[in-house]
Amino acid sequence: MELNRYIDHTLLKADATKDRICQLCEEAKEHHFASVCVNSYWVSTCRDLLSGSDVKVCTVVGFPLGAMSSEAKAFECQQAIADGAQEIDMVINIGELKAGHYEAVEADIKAVVEAAQGKCVKVILETCLLSKAEIIKACELCMSAKASFVKTSTGFSTSGATIENVRLMKDCVKGVCKVKAAGGVRSYEDLMAMVEAGADRIGTSAGVQLLNKEENTKGY
């Protein structure tokens, strides 16, 4: 098992500097992580730094709240791809899901999927704010909208990924989508538990420490 290829090496903090982004990309190249996941401002920088490597550039859309208009999310996605993004992690409209306005939620996801022009779209559910029934429904909407992944969390809300929710999501999508666990994956044991529960990708700021079996007590 190539654990490094599960990892989206992540830096989404507001105070991230170019020096720190450069360090993120160097670490990702050294360890051959699946991607770096950054805010869209840094996409073109990462594109240039990772040129010729096997590390993809991933960015976030509608992050971290998901309460932006679908048109704004679609534009953000289009611009990110023009700048060099190869994967998009978008946040659903959580309020509309909780209100039972499922057509609006699906249309929101579809707008980004279409704007992504065939590139990988991971849909962040923010599971800590959802009931089990809402997680199941969100997964169904993601499948219908032809998303590539369902993702547990932004890492910026009340809690992150749990084993129970990763298992639930894996069961729901039945292989139609893949599953990404993110938020609170800060030890090698956490990493292995998420993979064993069915995660196909792990979002973490602690990728280097996890591979070295060192616990990280801070960060995404």
What residues act catalytically? 89, 151, 180
Report how far Cα 39 is from the mean position of its chain's Cα atoms. Answer: 11
Q: Which of 216, 152, 160 is nearest to 189 (CA)?
A: 216
Q: Are strands 178-182 and 201-204 parallel, antiparallel or unpaired?
A: parallel
Beta bridge partners of 219: none
Other beta carbons within 10 Å of 199: 27
Beta bridge partners of 8: 35, 203
Other beta carbons within 10 Å of 88: 29
Report how far Cα 46 is from the mean position of its chain's Cα atoms. Answer: 17
